[in-house]
Amino acid sequence: MTHETLLQISSIVLLLPLAGFAGIIFFQKKLGRAAGYIGSSILGINLLLSLLVAYQKLAFYSDAGMLQWKFDWLNLGSHPITIGIGLDNLAAIMLIVVNLISFLVHVFSLEYMREDIRFPRFYAYLGLFTFSMLGIVIANNFLNMYIFWELVGISSYLLIGFWYEKDSAADASKKAFITNRIGDFGFFAGIMILFFTYGTFMFDDIFAHIGEGHIPFDSGTMLTLAGILLFMGAIGKSAQFPLHVWLPDAMEGPTPVSALIHAATMVAAGVYLTARIFPMLTADALLFVAYIGAITAFIAATIAITQTDFKRILAYSTVSQLGYMIMAIGVGAYSYGFFHLVTHAWFKACLFLASGSVIHAMHHSMHHAGEHHMDPQDIRNMGGLRKKMPITYLTFLISTIAISGVPFTSGFLSKDGILAGTMAFGQLSGHWFIAFSGFASAAMTAFYMFRLLISAFHGQPKTHIAAHTHESNKLITVPLIVLSILTFWFFYSFNPFDGGSGWFYEKIKTPATVVQAEHQWGFFVPYESSHSHSSACCGEHITSPAEEHSHSHEKDTHHALNKFEEALHHAHLPAMIISLIVAGLGIFLSFSFYQFKIFNPDGVAELIKPFYLLSYNKWYFDEIYDASVIWGTTTFAKLLALFDLYIIDGIVNLVGWFTKVVGHFIGWFDLYVIDGLVNLTANVTAFFGLVFRKFQTGRIQAYIVMTIIFAMVLLYYVL
Amino acid sequence: MEIGLTHYLVVSALLFSLGVFGIVTRKNSILVLMGLELILNSANLNFIAFSKFKGLNIEGHIATLFVIVLAAAEVAVALAIILNIYQNYHHIDVDEINKLKE
Amino acid sequence: MDSLLSLFIGQYVADLKRSLALFAPELVLATAFVLLVIVDLIFQKSKYITGVVALLGFAVATIFMIVSPANTSFGFWQMYVFDPFSNFFKYIFLISGFAVVLISFFSNELNKSDRTMGEYYTLILGMTLGMFVISSAGNLILIYLALETMSLSSYVLAGYTKEIKRASEASLKYVIYGALASGLMIYGISILYGLTGTLSLFQINAFLTQYQGPVFPLVVASLLVLVGFGYKISAVPFHFWTPDVYEGAPVAITAYLSVASKAAGFAVFMRFLKAGFIDPTNASEQVWTMVSSIDWKFIVAVLSVLSMTIGNFVALWQTNVKRMLAYSSIAHAGYMLMGVTVMTEGGYIAVMIYFFTYLLMNFGAFYVVQLIANEIGSEELEDYNGLGYRSPLLGTAMAIFLVSLTGLPPTAGFVGKLYIFQAVINSNMIWLAVVGVLNSVVSLAYYAKVFRNMWLRGVDSNSAPLKYSIYAQLLVYAFVIPTLYYGIFWTPLVFWAKSSVMMFIGK
Amino acid sequence: MFTIFGIGPLTFITFLPLLGMLILLAIPSGKDEKTKETSINLLRWVTVGITFIQLVVALLIYANFRTDLVGVNDPNSFQFVEKVKWISVKGLPLFGDLNIEYFVGIDGLSAPMVLLTALICFVATFSSWSIKKAHKGYFMMYLLLDLGMMGVFVALDFFLFYVFWELMLLPMYFLIGIWGGPRKEYAAIKFFIYTLFGSVFMLLVMIGLYFSVGSFNLLDMMNPANFKPGEIFTGFQTTWRLVAFVALFVGFAIKVPTVPFHTWLPDAHVEAPTPISVILAGILLKMGTYGMLRVAWPIFPEAVAYFNNYIAFIGMVSIIYGALCALGQHKVGKRDLKKLIAYSSVSHMGYVMLGISALNSNGLTGAIFQMFNHGTITAMLFMIVGVIYDRAHTRGLDEFGGLANKMPVYTGIMAIAFFAAIGLPGLSGFISEALVFLGAFATYPVLTVISALGVVLGAAYMLWALQRMFFGKLPERWSGPWDPTGKEYKHDDINGIELAALVPLAIVVIFLGVFPGAVVNLMTSSVNHLIEIVKIGGQFAGM
């Protein structure tokens, strides 16, 4: 297939869901349930087409960089505004991710949303979302990116608020949209800077300009600022600290939506954006990105430990994992970051869909029992679901293992790479906090995920509702199975311990930075910067195949093009060991708490009187020590949760409140001062009229006197 | 003492002032009319005096004649109006006739 | 000696003959005046026959106006002046005369069964005659005489509905204020006579060119004369009589006073200024120069600003439409004085254009007020509610007249304002223009009250439609159509004013 | 140039409403119930017909419009020009030669506005179905207003421009005052006086320019060579020129309206009947910014350079202030949806001001495009408010909720309009806002970034309103059908006539969101030319 054909197929892939959306939204009533099948088949076709495109791209045009199709969109005289679509390896893989998950969610929802009164509209919105998301994926310029960026925002808004009768859902959707808008504001500001400086939105043109040393306002700071502003879009969309607050609330949407949008695809758009702009990020901007990611990963993980709502745990987990990816890109572990995006998409989608399956089952059970007040999403109401819902359990288990970073899973491969990256970064730059955060989060992830798994599926049912659940039907389980299978290692690399040796790493190479050396980390600057400049144009393609070839001979199998790559390679082994340890520790603790009840999970209460226990059970010293660490961690997590709830969220609310107050004041000001001035003018005018009117007393002699007085005054002035 | 132009003018000015004063202070409409007559007469006096003392043409004298005639006409009309007022109000107090105002 | 005398007499007779030929319109009016008295004696019962005769008188006068040769010369030994300027105003008086007679035909308050209308039309003719004379007068004593002729008629006319208290109050106030004003004026004239030794405006001008003496008596005399003019044009601070008299008088007379009487005042004031105080050697130039040290520009500007502002501001508070229009007419005097302030031919042209438009819209507005008063018996603003729906024609017409009075396009009033502002701006008196436009904004506030009440209120009231004859309706159109027409094609108006601004100043 | 019955298209499109008025005048009002009903329907459909013909002619003009001609100050590149002597008086003392021409023509600045006017006037007739009294007067005033607005956009003679400008005040006054809400009298007179206040200064400047140039022709006024020496506006950056610019600016800014001249707007909007709000927001506000670009900018380019910073600042303040007012107005007095939208107009017209101040192709194109888009979008919003108001007789935001289930189609259209208003990509509002920001950033980076916050605020108040009215639970009082008798509203959802008004606009909004070129191409050459004029004219001012 030629470039053109590939791009044409990509356009079809892009437009099909839109057609689905339009078709369904206009004929909602007529279509009824057929809408679901139409939507699913469209996505099925889309999936096949995207597989074809991705295969073609990766197999035959892997080194061709970004295949682009540009056209003039608006011509304002001076120079046209060009937009278009582009397809590179990154986009090709994303196409599969988006279409596959979207397809599975479509199928899943056939069952899950069966009884919803707005069933067709749900599919219409899903179509709209898929269209928008694909638009982001194959954008080759900032304008397209921003357009579709907003469109996914709106689809997310519509889907979170799908059950808009619930105030909480409506609130959540609004919160999500507005929080995102704050991020988008930065994103747009960044775009403005770039457009102002370069007069184009095209990635390749902009990067080429930067590569030539042409930077905004001739100031490295401004380039950093532009990068950070662009990244603000990612902060919003990918729910990074401090804008992460919307994501947990977004769980008010239907669970398939959570799986599709708020776990696998849309929230990953931020990561995708960060990956796209990676070449133009300066050292400071990268550091900012890395720290944001690290902080997010850590905070979210600590919070997840204490949550009890099934979906919220997953939501915090998502935030944490997104932080991971952002952090990865920030430290320069670009390929692993994107790798994690893909692997995370599978297992997190699986986890969410499994949670959907559970909730669905709980709902049914509640419906049968005539119980309406229980929270079907609270893990304290579950337990023992393993036997009732074996397939759901199994897939959930596999995904949990994957997210915890256990070997032989995709999660291990990607996470390990990221951790190696953070270590390499720490080593080269001295910023060790990032690595620390990475490992800590890894441990906590393992802990809370297993806690979730155990509480929900293991042990005995805690309520009669949980006891009477049934496995969901095939429409639900098949997607779960597909997704859980995708978490095995061999899809990505035949070596289960080294993601770097697989095809994935081969195809997704870290693009060389185009930023001038004085604004960039030394260890990111390519060894042969003269070469990279000439070809630094589009995303990942910096090195010509010939160069690559020569590198691969020099530097082992890993064609390191800068110091960082080398360090990364060397950090692999220690990172793997540490990560295995922390993950194992997490899992172990989790099991000992919740499965084997070595410690009563409610033991926190007993720890209030720790001296007695301490003296009585001396030889349990280690366990007590562990317990105190757990206590400390949980307390800290609680504190952070409170922090999140009251401070971060509080700040958000405070800003909201403040804005409202200012709005109130302005409203008042407008009504009484500005308008008051207008009315005052009128009143003063009228007042003078009133005064002059008083001269007209009706008595002729008074008139005469006044005439004479006036005439005298006039005389006085004339003389 | 020779009686000159100045004396006539002073008398005329006094007459004028008295006229204005009368118009402004009298309540009775008839008295107000008399005030008006004083003003006209002061003008007449001026005309005659200027005509005589400055050796001017007879324009002044003619003017005086016209003013006298007009004064008569004016008084005739005014008295008719005052009569009508009396029929409507049963008094001719200008101060009290103040329904039209502001 | 004899031959000299006979030569003198011969000259005199020749002048008299020529003057009388030019004086024909005035003579017609005078004849009609006398005729009316006789007709009235014969047809005492009929209400309209005298009116028709008055109309005939106006018509014949108009014919004489048209056929009499265009001339710019003295008449009657420099007492009188024939020139296009006076002709313009004479046409204005004639149109007003026609209008007021016709309006009076449709007035219920005037045509009461127990009232004779003979004197009414007679006095209107007399008043018109006075205006004719005053617009042509070149001598102060003639000005005074004409002024009194007008005034005496108008005193009576203002109180013509003599059984109505407010009418008699109006006429009493009018007579006292008017008599005082003319008294002050004649006193001023007497001083002026003493100073200059003449009563002829042209000789006064000649005298002032040489005059080096003290300025104080001159100023005092001029201001006293100004009182007479100011009272006629009802400029602040000589306006006090206006609202009371306008409110009390019959609507037709109010309209006539507000247009024709004011026009006469302007005509004589403008002539007084130009003939008396402008250096005649450059009178046709762009900028006139004064021959005396009296700052007329300043005085008139002050009067103008005061008139506009006080007229408009007080009008805001009025609840009686007639009274409101009275204040509005004070304000309009202010606008027109802006044109006078400019003291150039352009300014005079602007005033003349304005006057014609003012004639249309003000007469129209008062006419509508009268037709409404005929039916509802009130001129109070509150009683106007919903009238637009009871009579769409009157409502629309009133709105058009008021919009025109405000000075919005495409109505004649806008054209008038446009020229006034153009004149003012071109003379670099921008502050005055700003005051003027701000005033027109203020004026909108009260004009709008009228059509607000007529259209915005009482929309759903189901009161009976107002009744008026088809002829009354035609007369409404006669005012509306020119108001709109001249708002769109005013070229003839400008040409007319341009050709009429020529004022004979004796050189 | 094509002609219609021998009449030039612009004359035709402008004066067609006059013909319509005569036709309406001839329609008898009917005696009994039935004939009355017929008469009313006849009035409506005649108006629809007239405005439809206008729209068709506008589209013909659009089809025949050449986008390569620049216009603005070049008399030879205006299109569909008609030039007839109107008033011609020679040799008048003081005034000199007086020449006023009937001079109409369009270029890239006015073509979109003509199109917009025709479109909005057409769709607004459908929302005029909700008018319940004095139909004949209403439709006549409506057409007169139409005439005035169209005239403003085609006039090239300042005098003609001014006449049309003032001409539409009176019908607007009556339309608000007779068919408006409870405080209609206050709102109507406020609108009238406020606007008149602005335009009288325009009158003075017009007269001054006339004396300086000797003609009322706008294009002559744009050429510095035409200014006679020694006249008031002759020269460069003289005090009087700056003052004149400020006077013109204030006159136009009142119409826009920018903060702090905006207070007439919420009142007028809240009280006006739906179709009039639509026209007010859709067209009238554009006349302010159009006037700036047509009159003030090319005639006083150096004053633009002098005051541009302030203009940009005013734009920014309007954006933020309007948005905050929209967000906060609910705290003051009644929470009124219409008021919220009215304030959003202040904010959105702020974008136009900001775009104009950018003085580059992006900004100015964005500004004019925003004028067009704001016209269509806000028209939709007001119609949407009208739909609910006609049924519930209230617009209180607090009084609704859960309408999405009761009126799904309505909600869908509402969503399009709301999303367009908050600048959602794919809808036309986004493109113009983005262009404005991109353009303005080049000139005023800081102000633009602050202004961009308006987008966030915009989302906040719009979504707040959307949620308040459409989501959540339906209040008890609306649970029944809107019209229990079923006479007026057979279904709960939006009806056909209302859809006829809204759907064309929705299509335009979506279409232009994807193919902005359809309108943007009209203006490109003129915009660039205008920028040239302003830049060259203003270069001495140290720009």
Mean per-residue pLDDT, A408-415 = 83
Threshold 0.90, pTM exceeds? no
What is the helix (H) or strand (E) element at residue D82, kind and residue range?
strand D79-92
Angle at A51 between CA A47 and CA A55, to 5 degrees: 170
SS3 A527: coil
Residue C318 burial by CB count (10 A; 0-12/13-18/19+): exposed, middle or buried? buried
Cross-chain residue pair C238–A707, CB shorter than 8 Å: yes
CA distance linking residue D389 with residue D398, whole number of Å: 13
Angstrom distance (rounded) from CA B49 to CA B45: 6
- Selected for mutation to probe chain D from C456, C462, C485 (highest D CB count within 10 Å) is C456
pLDDT tens per residue, range A365-407: 888 877 777 777 777 777 777 777 888 888 888 888 888 888 8
State residue A617's pLDDT score.
42
Residue range of the domain that includes B85: 5-101
Give CA–CA dist D117/D146, Å, rounded.
8
pLDDT tens, residue by residue, A76-128: 766 778 888 888 888 888 888 888 888 888 888 888 888 888 888 888 888 88
Task: List chains touching A (3+ CB pairs under 8 A).
Answer: B, C, D
The per-residue pLDDT for range A338-362, each reduced to its tens digit, is 888 888 888 888 888 888 888 888 8
Which amino acid belongs to residue D110? S
Q: Measure A670 CA to nearest chain C CA, in Å.
A: 23
Chains A and D: how many Cβ contacts under 8 Å? 158
Contact A131, A18 (CB under 8 A): yes
Q: Rounded to whole angstroms, how far apart are CA atoms C14 and C22?
A: 13
Q: Chain centroid to CA C344: how far?
A: 21
Tell me which chain C residue has its CA closest to the CA of residue A702.
Answer: C240
Please confirm whether the linkage preceding A17 is cis (ω < 30° from 0): no
How many folded domains does chain B comprise?
1
Query: Which of D412, D425, D445 has the CB atom closest to A146's CB atom?
Result: D425
Q: What are the phi and psi torsion angles at D27 (to 5°)?
A: -80, 120
Give SS3 for D92: strand
> Can you give the CATH number for the domain in which B49 is found?
1.10.287.3510
- The DSSP string of chain B is ----HHHHHHHHHHHHHHHHHHHHH--BHHHHHHHHHHHHHHHHHHHHHHHHHTT--THHHHHHHHHHHHHHHHHHHHHHHHHHHHHHHS--BTTT---S--
Structural domain boundaries in chain C:
295-507
Assess contact for C252 and C103: CB atoms under 8 A.
yes
DSSP C312-359: HHHHTT--BHHHHHHHHHHHHHHHHHHHHHH-SHHHHHHHHHHHHHHH
CB contact under 8 A, D170 and C399: yes
Instruction: Give chains near D: 3+ CB pairs under 8 A.
Output: A, C
d(CA C437, CA D206) in angstroms, rounded, equals 13
Structure tokens of C189? 């004239």
D92 in C contact zone (CB under 8 Å): yes
Q: In terms of CA atoms, which chain A residue is nearest residue D448?
A: A189
More confident residue, A80 or A318: A318
For residue D359, what are its two tokens?
């003085």
Partners of residue A698 in chain B, C-beta under 8 Å: 98-102
> Beta strands D79-92 and C80-82: pairing type?
unpaired
Q: Is A645 on the interface with C (CB under 8 A)?
A: no
Task: Tell me the shortest Cα–Cα distance from A719 to chain C, in angstroms.
Answer: 7
A167 to D472: CB separation less than 8 angstroms, yes or no: yes
Residues of C in contact with A718 (CB under 8 A): 219, 223, 294-295, 298-299
Confidence of residue C401 (pLDDT cuts 50, 70, 90): very high
For D469, the token pair is 């009215």
pLDDT of residue D388: 85
A65-69, C378-382, D133-137, D203-207: segment of lowest average pLDDT: A65-69
User: Is pLDDT above 70 for A691?
Assistant: yes
Q: In which residue are the tokens 């607004």 written?
A: D124
Six token digits for residue D446: 């800081």
User: B57: Cβ–Cβ under 8 A, 6 or more apart, which residues?
Assistant: B51, C197, C198
CB D80 within 8 A of CB D1: yes
pLDDT band at A637 (very low <50, low <70, confident <90, very high): very low
Question: B28 has which bridge partners?
Answer: B93
ipTM over 0.90: no
Is a pLDDT exceeding 90 seen at residue C56?
yes
Specify the 3-state DSSP secondary structure of C408.
coil
Interchain CB distance below 8 Å, D133 and C490: no
**Taking 50 as the threshold, does the pLDDT of residue A615 lie above it?**
no
Question: In which residue are the tokens 């050429």 written?
Answer: D223
Q: Which of A112-116, A352-356, B46-50, C104-108 has the lowest average pLDDT?
A: A112-116
> Which ranges in A430-560 belong to alpha helices (H)?
433-457, 464-467, 474-485, 503-507, 529-535, 545-554
pLDDT in tens, chain D (543 residues): 788 888 888 999 999 999 999 999 888 877 788 888 888 889 999 999 999 999 999 999 999 888 888 888 888 888 899 998 888 887 777 777 778 889 999 998 999 999 999 999 999 998 888 888 888 889 999 999 999 999 999 999 999 999 999 988 889 999 998 888 888 888 888 888 888 888 888 999 998 888 888 888 888 888 888 888 888 888 777 888 899 999 999 999 988 888 778 878 888 888 889 899 999 989 999 999 999 999 999 888 888 888 989 999 999 988 887 887 777 655 445 677 888 888 888 889 999 999 999 888 888 999 999 999 999 999 999 998 888 888 888 887 777 877 887 888 888 888 889 888 888 888 888 889 888 998 888 888 889 888 888 888 788 778 878 887 888 778 877 777 777 776 777 777 888 888 888 999 999 999 998 888 888 888 888 888 888 888 887 765 444
Helix (H) or strand (E) holding C486: helix C470-488
CA–CA dist A483, A396 (Å, integer): 10
Instruction: Kindly list the distances between the CA atom of residue D421 and the CA atoms of A158, B62, B72, D370, D379, in Å, as whole numbers in the listed order.
Output: 16, 85, 81, 11, 11
d(CA D543, CA D540): 7
Look-up of token digits 């659940």: A469
Structural tokens at position D94: 């003081």
Q: Which of D163, D193, D204 is the closest to C421 by Cβ?
A: D204
Q: Which residue, D505, D426, C352, C311, is CA-closest to A689?
A: C311
Q: Which of residues 152-191 of C touch A (CB under 8 A)?
A: 172-173, 176-177, 180
Sign (positive/negative) of CA torsion A554, A556, A557, A558?
negative
**What is the rounded CA–CA span in Å between residue D230 and residue C420?**
21
Q: Could you tell me if B81 lies within 8 Å of chain A, comparing CB atoms?
A: no
- Name the helix (H) or strand (E) containing C102: helix C84-105
At residue C252 the predicted structure's pLDDT band, cuts being 50, 70 and 90, is very high
The pLDDT of residue A239 is above 60: yes
Residue A709 sits at the chain B interface (C-beta within 8 Å) = no
Whether residue D211 lies within 8 A of chain C, CB to CB, comes out as: yes
- Identify the residue among D14, D94, D242 best suited for mutation to test binding to C, counting C beta carbons within 10 A and taking the highest: D94
- Residue B85 in contact with partner chain C when CB distance is under 8 A: yes
- Are C349 and D92 inside 8 Å of each other by CB? yes
* Cis amide bond preceding D504, omega within 30: no
pLDDT of residue A656: 56
Structure tokens at D66: 């050449």
> β-strand A80-87 against C73-75: which pairing, if any?
unpaired
Interface test with A, best of D400, D438, D535 (most A CBs within 10 A): D438
Residue with tokens 């508070």: C317
CB contact under 8 A, B74 and C189: no
Whether D18 and D145 have beta carbons less than 8 Å apart is answered as no
